[in-house]
Amino acid sequence: MLGAVRVYLSGPMGAGKSTVAGLVAGQLDTRALDLDARVAELAGRSIPEIFSERGEAAFRALEKEALEALPADVGVVALGGGTVVDDETRQMLLRAGILVTLTAAPEVLAARVGAGRGRPLLGEHPQRDLERIIEGRAAAYAEAHAVIDTSALEPEEIAAEVVAARNLSPIVVPLGLRTYRVEVGRGARHRLGIRAKEHAAGDAILVFDGDDDRPWPQEAVRDLTRAAKPPIEVKLVGDEAHKNVASVERIWDSALDAEVDRRSIVIGLGGGVIGDLSGFAASTLLRGVALGQVPTTLLAMVDSSVGGKTGFNRPRGKNLVGTFYQPKFVLCDVETLSTLPNEERIAGLAEAVKSAWLDSEESVAMLERDAAGLLEGDADATIRAVRMSVSLKSRIVHEDEQESGRRMLLNLGHTVGHGLEASSGYRGIRHGEGVALGMIASMRVAAALGRGRLEETERLTRLLGRLGLPTDLDQRLNSRALEFIGSDKKRRGDRIHFVIPRFPGQTEIAILGLDELRDALGRF
């Protein structure tokens, strides 16, 4: 399924990148290339000569040129130790293939490089210099599909781990030292025990909803028990009506009664409500413990489990109290959708449509091609939709983690959608259904403002209808729903940040007066 995905090996000097690159290439039946050697070849100078004659900045520019012109038959690239320090280059590599950081303890690296001859960045004290280099690059090295400590591993073992990471192909949410990975596919849930143990040395607090016909909580308890010890179980009602502080208190009190410490981890297993409540509880419990997300609804997989938004509802509206708090891992297993009611799964497709419209023409066209399969719950089509949505959100969160700018685009359809949800008491309409209708409302506002075309409104409406989502906005929009828009958390006084969709991949944020928005909606 991965085809000819290129592998990039990053990390400090002495980590074994060149040696491991050759071994990985052998396993994948492809060719390896050492980027430093390629740069030297293109420049007609050795690396020390380039540094001496032209400086590090010129060397980094040559690295970029070499990366942009890699031979097509190269499947594994051993990068220079500082290649990924440049953010633009690093993000390009994360999108272009699988980026793996190889690292080791400074004393191990120092022993491997010896006196450091031919290493322009090393002086008389290689270990001290390596410690400084690693500290300065730590955030960049963390932004990778996998980080492998090579200190106690043989090259063949390192190569095997690299190939495993390549085959797993997680989606990276690159946030420096807080970087985490989203694993999407069949069977991903079974890695819960391993991931929890990797990120927390204390107790696991497993928060899940109470549907007895779903086997996922029992499986999670088993996997966590095998990896460490039985988790603390917190069973909640996972609907919007119970997305309140009382549910958060149940998580807090269950954990505190068990005398957990700050080495613990809260794991949300369920839909978006469970994920939001678990995230808020983790962000505040003992002033912050680790968080893991195992979404079991399509809506949570494509949206709420990624990005770090947490919170709960208040009488004045949805998600008005919360925090930004990133998880340590997210496991999206499409097999868990098998017990989800069909209408709930379909409702989650609205967020995938939102992501596709924000992303590109190619993503919208993909959903149009996959519409029949998505409606029926085809696993491969669903995996494609989830990966597209998570990849988009990853890029946006990297640029704007706390929604001060571009991340507001992810609210496409949500202003009106939340109003429809709140006006029904969170019982008459599902979140995804509200978002679907909210996107149509947004198209209508765009048209009223002269910023949208009828053809795009019709295309979006047609796609939503093919996916089984509601399109009857006129029958559902009422004055009470419009009242709740005034309580939206994106409001600033009597004005609101409103997402205006245009062409796929071309969406903007407008600041509209509340009366202007209501008038635009009322014209239709």
Tell me the two tokens of residue 498.
Answer: 């409103």
Burial class (CB in 10 A: 0-12, 13-18, 19+), 438: buried
Q: Report d(CA 203, CA 224) in Å as an integer.
A: 10
Known catalytic residues are 287, 309, 351, 393, 403, 407, 411, 414, 418, 431
Specify whether the CB–CB gap between 186 and 155 falls below 8 A: no
First to last CA, the chain: 46
Amino acid type, 481: A
In Å, the largest CA–CA distance within the chain is 76
Alpha carbon distances (Å) from 240 to 187, 213, 290, 427, 497: 28, 20, 24, 8, 24
d(CA 291, CA 62): 41
- Asked if 204 and 232 touch (Cβ cutoff 8 Å), the reply is yes
Q: Which residues of 241-264 are buried (b: 16+ CB within 10 A; e: fewer)?
A: ebbbeebbebbbebbeeeebeeeb
Query: Of the candidates 239, 243, 245, 237, which has an alpha carbon nearest to the alpha carbon of residue 208?
Result: 237
What's at 147, amino acid-wise? V
Residues 6+ apart with CB under 8 A from 280: 248, 310, 311, 312, 322, 323, 325
DSSP-assigned letter for residue 365? H
> Which sign, positive or negative, has the C-alpha torsion 420, 422, 427, 432?
positive
**What letter represents residue 47's amino acid?**
I
- What SS3 state is found at 151? coil
d(CA 221, CA 480): 43
Bridge partner list, 269: 208, 294
User: Which residues lie below 8 Å from residue 151, measured CB to CB, with a gap of 6+?
Assistant: 104, 105, 108
Instruction: For 90, list phi and psi in degrees, rounded to 5.
Output: -60, -45
Provide the 10 A C-beta neighbour count for residue 356.
25
Q: Give Rg (Cα) of the chain.
A: 25
Ramachandran region, residue 311 (left: φ > 0; alpha: ψ -120 to 50; beta: rest): left
Phi, psi of 147 (to 5 degrees): -120, 120
